[in-house]
Chains A and B, each alone.
Chain A
Amino acid sequence: ETGVTQTPRHLVMGMTNKKSLKCEQHLGHNAMYWYKQSAKKPLELMFVYSLEERVENNSVPSRFSPECPNSSHLFLHLHTLQPEDSALYLCASSQGSTSTGELFFGEGSRLTVL
Chain B
Amino acid sequence: GEDVEQSLFLSVREGDSSVINCTYTDSSSTYLYWYKQEPGAGLQLLTYIFSNMDMKQDQRLTVLLNKKDKHLSLRIADTQTGDSAIYFCAETLIRGSTLGRLYFGRGTQLTVWP
Contacts and interface: CB of A to CB of B under 8 A. Distances in A.
Interface of A: 4, 6, 31, 40-43, 45, 48, 50-51, 53, 55, 90, 92, 94, 96-97, 99-108
Contacts of A6: 42
B101 A45 contact: yes
Contact of A108 (B8, B41, B101): B41
Interface of B: 4, 8, 30-31, 33, 35, 40-45, 48, 50, 88, 92, 94, 96-106
23 contacts: A4-B42, A6-B42, A40-B106, A42-B106, A43-B43, A48-B99, A90-B42, A90-B43, A94-B100, A96-B99, A97-B96, A100-B31, A100-B48, A101-B31, A102-B31, A102-B33, A102-B45, A103-B102, A105-B35, A105-B43, A107-B40, A107-B42, A108-B41
